[in-house]
Structure 1
């Protein structure tokens, strides 16, 4: 049966073409596979259900994109002939590789063959350009903070008095101030491609149990003796979500603390800062026991969960009267890999965990009750609504769930275009609740799959550091007394350290501020 897709913002009830109420849960898998193919500009009013609909949408979308790419709207010659457009003077004699058109309100950028220069657009407004001048008068070169306030003058910014193309970039002289701004081509490309603050993520490598054969490793001396050692360590964490630091002194926990501080400051929580503990229930948390713990992430109840987490087993000795100290194997699971496995097996269940907010809490210690500022989903996605950004999962710290809260009622395709608006349920229902429970059950099955579980034995002298936004950890039950030290580091501090040890300063600043 064909279905009708609502335009964004519509408040109407979704119905089939036959007039009967549409049941989104039943249709969601087929619709979900089809909708990301829409280009957001026009939508078919009658879509065949299932794979046929997806194929038709894919075909139509591809044809439209091809037509758009060859459209005069992105053609330099067609734009050049408009009355309100002027071609910018090129003093580079064509060596820049770019052509630019100027209007009273913006500049449009093209390759020398006339193609639009950007992946996401080809024009920047005068106001935006003036606001983002990076010269020493507009940006304090010591603090990298703005010195120029775009809002001190009426908007929009008046037309430029003079614009010229140079080999390295484009130079603009602004009319009222006679201020001169220069924008190099890398800067222009950066923003036309709409990647202003994007972090490189394609170098991340998913893993499963096979990582046991060659786990990412550095030595204590490497990290403590050089910045290149810190770069290697943070690079491995960024790529795999974990690293082992071998040959660490274990006579005193201070060595572990100093190593962690090579990344950033230890994060303080209600558990304290740097921890050094045995299973004595000094804090009301199962981590302070000797029972088995399933794969989980820590501090799900924080608005900003801990970024990195570290463990160093300093000793494991028999309890008084016991002959041996046994058990206590450690478990790591790549949550990003688990999320992709879920998406591959059932997209509807994947997006249920990505779109449904849950309550989390820490309430075991007297005088402490921590909950995040809002409900957060198990799988958090980046702005493109496709790339997995964060895993938040600890069944022990999960509050009561009713099923009535969506993270967002809008779904988007890879270009950020709205392709469907789902009705936000005003009330919970058993069916709504069971959809989430089914998704969570499938998620747990994947996490417990032998192909994803990496088991190993902690030992004195080896620190394990992992990305708590990505890697879930657990352990088997144990006997005896284990003394473990470690700490949390915020994700912001880690990312800053990773960037500044692995990338040139100029590239870091280009990523962050242009």
Structure 2
């Protein structure tokens, strides 16, 4: 059946390439050093990787970066609306290689011929545009490659089209070959230099608008790297062995995903071709190359939710026994979509039940769940709310109006889009909603009437001076060391003067207490604001009052900083807030808020670096109390690292946000903030279980060093110095409320 625009030919365009272009392509898709014929231009068998023709429609003749959107606008297709190319993703590619490209186009003229096969307008979810592209030598008319492509224009049509079949890999059979590709945060940035400069793969904003949650890797990177894997594992890396390959794109690949391709020889030969099937998934087991409808319930029994392709391998017989592959041919098969028209056209109306919560659809016809309204706004995952590199919160939870409301709610193909009353526009993908339903988990009852341990609080602006000690004395005398630890325990912080301005001396000072704790930041730190680790602390930005290591099951107890240098700028004053004093104020003003912050546990995480995703063994409350002594002993507050909590009722959400807002207001009061400017030669140490710390914004280059000390090691050292070993041993297991009991000092 003919569709609007079918047969329309676009103006022909010249294409060209140099040896450096094909070298870049081979590197960007993962060719290895033992495939030197793809990577070294002087190799006697130097060749273009056979799927390089897919790059030429993007590159054309350019040797400079181009404006993807401006170029993609292109000539209009007759009888078809003009589409927005800022919202297009790859649908499918089928490449047939008729003749290998020469290593360079120099000396010949090549052109791209592009025509429309069909345009399928399916209403709300999207439109499919299918084209055929050929690379032709102008002088002879010889065709080197033919590519059949489809693009999916998100939100500019519907989804449907012809039905095909997927072929599943054999069950319970070990694959004959496996190819693994580990992507990184830089993978897309390298691949785009081939000529595909779509901003979707370079910056998070386009992907957020399309429902991907941020930047994604080019679909054609996955396609080409899989083609490389098949050719390498089954075709001996010989470019002559790859003749045809077809694949559809099932789900986005995100920076850091691992792509795993498993391949099976099926053992049957038809028309000289041996059938090969394989599946490509990410490290979470999700298909990344497949029919886009296969993992949504296909109607054929052969359909699987992973990508499968058939390869034709004609064999030459050697001695009648051994068979050697000489030719690869690949095809993908598409599953039909079993949804009814009524399901695909469901308007998905919003169900606003009151201002405190909203019922949202989870992606299928009649399945709704309720979500707290404030919780939804607080947990938006866009790059304006979550830092795209550190994955920490950058939205100020307590700047969100308490009466935040939904102005408009609309459903797209990938999830609801909400326009909030504070002007923020947010998208919530269906999988994210399903993973974060607000299920209720009962909260333990805890009394707020707890004891405070003995402590002293520094009041900003009064006559108190900072507790300060001498480096020389601490290093030389255990009595001076005990006085220093007493001050840290009583006041929550202290300064050490006369520290030699060197990392070695600073490290020795920390080790005077105990060994330095190793974390994913290393042991002893010596750093500048260069985002070596994806954490806001490694920037020049303002840092609000917080405690460190909320994402550890056992946060570090002590933290020491020593500023080694600050050049070509100013700012960077250090902030301390006494968390125990803040709890006292909160208890005086609204004691029920203390109970809520002790009883309601929150999740935390550290996942900015690709190789790291740290979470505590269990969720933890803001205020930790000792069950035996019924006494406050720990503050755990870091809104930057707070994760999405889903196991709480709407009443608990309301109570916690109210209490946390009150707490946040208290710790930001001017009379709670202790500001000081660090200088080389003076170290600051503080109790991370009590003191919140922060920093003002700064300019220039600062070099800082320091480290963490574990709670158990600090307390062990402190108790032994204060009471002696015999008294400590006599009181093991004793938790009496007694100042002479070493275990009273938590």
The bucket for the TM-score relative to the shorter chain is 0.5 to 0.7
Name the SS for the 2:697 alignment partner. Answer: coil
Q: Name the CA distance, whole Å, in 1 between partners of 2:614 and 2:463.
A: 36
> Retained in 2: the 8 A contact 1:207–1:452?
no
2:581 to 327, 337, 343: 337
- Structure 1 residues 266-285: aligned runs within 5 Å: 266-285=516-535
2:503 to 244, 249, 253: 253
- Structure 1 residues 73-472: aligned runs within 5 Å: 202-210=453-461, 213-250=464-501, 252-318=502-568, 325-383=569-627, 386-402=630-646, 404=648, 428-429=649-650, 431-472=651-692
Stretches of structure 1 lacking an aligned partner (at least 5 in a row): 1-30, 38-199, 319-324, 405-427
Evaluate the alpha carbon distance shift between residue 218 and residue 457 of structure 1 in structure 2; reply closer, same or farther with a 3 A threshold.
same
Which stretch of the first structure deviates more once superposed, 257-266 or 385-394? 385-394
Quote how far apart the aligned CAs of 1:432 are.
Answer: 2.5
> Retained in 2: the 8 A contact 1:208–1:334?
no
The aligned residue for residue 701 of structure 2 is: 481
Which stretch of the first structure deviates more once superposed, 385-394 or 228-237? 385-394
Quote how far apart the aligned CAs of 1:506 are.
Answer: 2.5
Q: Name the CA distance, whole Å, in 2 between partners of 1:288 and 1:379.
A: 27
The aligned residue for residue 508 of structure 1 is: 728
Q: Name the CA distance, whole Å, in 2 between partners of 1:253 and 1:243.
A: 19
Evaluate the alpha carbon distance shift between residue 362 and residue 204 of structure 1 in structure 2; reply closer, same or farther with a 3 A threshold.
same
Quote how far apart the aligned CAs of 1:269 are.
Answer: 0.2
The aligned residue for residue 231 of structure 2 is: none
Quote how far apart the aligned CAs of 1:357 are.
Answer: 0.5
Q: Name the CA distance, whole Å, in 1 between partners of 2:642 and 2:463.
A: 30
Q: Name the CA distance, whole Å, in 1 between partners of 2:463 and 2:706.
A: 22
Quote how far apart the aligned CAs of 1:513 are.
Answer: 5.4
Q: Provide Cα deviations, 1:148-195, integer angstroms capped at 9, x if missing partner.
A: xxxxxxxxxxxxxxxxxxxxxxxxxxxxxxxxxxxxxxxxxxxxxxxx
Q: Provide Cα deviations, 1:420-459, integer angstroms capped at 9, x if missing partner.
A: xxxxxxxx22x33111101100000010011111000000
> Retained in 2: the 8 A contact 1:308–1:489?
yes
Quote how far apart the aligned CAs of 1:32 are.
Answer: 7.0
Name the SS for the 1:396 alignment partner. Answer: coil
Q: Provide Cα deviations, 1:27-46, integer angstroms capped at 9, x if missing partner.
A: xxxx979xx79xxxxxxxxx
Quote how far apart the aligned CAs of 1:510 are.
Answer: 2.4
Q: Provide Cα deviations, 1:469-495, integer angstroms capped at 9, x if missing partner.
A: 110000100000010000000011101
Evaluate the alpha carbon distance shift between residue 205 and residue 345 of structure 1 in structure 2; reply closer, same or farther with a 3 A threshold.
same
Name the SS for the 1:239 alignment partner. Answer: helix
> Retained in 2: the 8 A contact 1:310–1:466?
yes
> Retained in 2: the 8 A contact 1:212–1:454?
no
Name the SS for the 1:390 alignment partner. Answer: strand
Quote how far apart the aligned CAs of 1:388 are.
Answer: 1.1
> Retained in 2: the 8 A contact 1:211–1:454?
no
Stretches of structure 2 lacking an aligned partner (at least 5 in a row): 1-445, 735-746
TM-score by length of 1: 0.54
The aligned residue for residue 188 of structure 1 is: none
- Higher relative contact order (CA closer than 8 Å, sequence separation 6+): 1
Q: RMSD across aligned C-alpha pairs, in angstroms?
A: 2.1
Evaluate the alpha carbon distance shift between residue 387 and residue 32 of structure 1 in structure 2; reply closer, same or farther with a 3 A threshold.
closer
Name the SS for the 2:549 alignment partner. Answer: coil
Q: Name the CA distance, whole Å, in 2 between partners of 1:203 and 1:261.
A: 27
Q: Provide Cα deviations, 1:107-137, integer angstroms capped at 9, x if missing partner.
A: xxxxxxxxxxxxxxxxxxxxxxxxxxxxxxx
Q: Name the CA distance, whole Å, in 2 between partners of 1:460 and 1:212.
A: 25
